[in-house]
């Protein structure tokens, strides 16, 4: 997924850092289609320009995000959908 965009980012990282600094980039194929200060703006313009197409949105300086969810990894979330809950204000 997003192979072209990741390859482009890896091979142009220094150049992109020099040109855009710490901005959040929207990369579609081998093209930067926007540079933004906030994720909110980046998402808004990505939706406007590219619709629901897959595009890479990240800072060129950022390492690949790693995340952890131990209960998920271990398969012990254990929600029983046959039971009910109720919410109230």
Residues ≥6 apart with Cβ < 8 Å to 36: 23, 24, 25, 26, 42, 45
Does residue 41 interact with another protein by CB under 8 A?
Answer: yes
Q: Two tokens at 19?
A: 């040109």
Does residue 22 interact with another protein by CB under 8 A?
Answer: no
Residues 44-83 that bind another protein (CB under 8 A): 44-58, 64-75, 77-81, 83
Does residue 20 interact with another protein by CB under 8 A?
Answer: no
Dihedrals φ, ψ of 57, to 5°? -125, 110
Binding site for another protein (CB under 8 A): 1-2, 6, 39-41, 43-58, 64-75, 77-81, 83-89
């Amino acid at each position: 997924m997003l192979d072209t965009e990741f390859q482009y980012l890896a091979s142009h990282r220094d150049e992109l850092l020099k040109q855009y600094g710490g901005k959040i980039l929207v990369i579609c194929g081998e093209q930067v289609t926007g540079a933004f200060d906030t994720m909110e703006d980046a998402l808004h313009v990505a939706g406007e320009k590219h619709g629901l197409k897959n595009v890479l949105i990240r800072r060129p300086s950022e390492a690949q995000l790693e995340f952890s969810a131990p209960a998920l990894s271990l398969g012990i979330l254990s929600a029983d959908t046959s039971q009910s809950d109720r919410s109230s204000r």
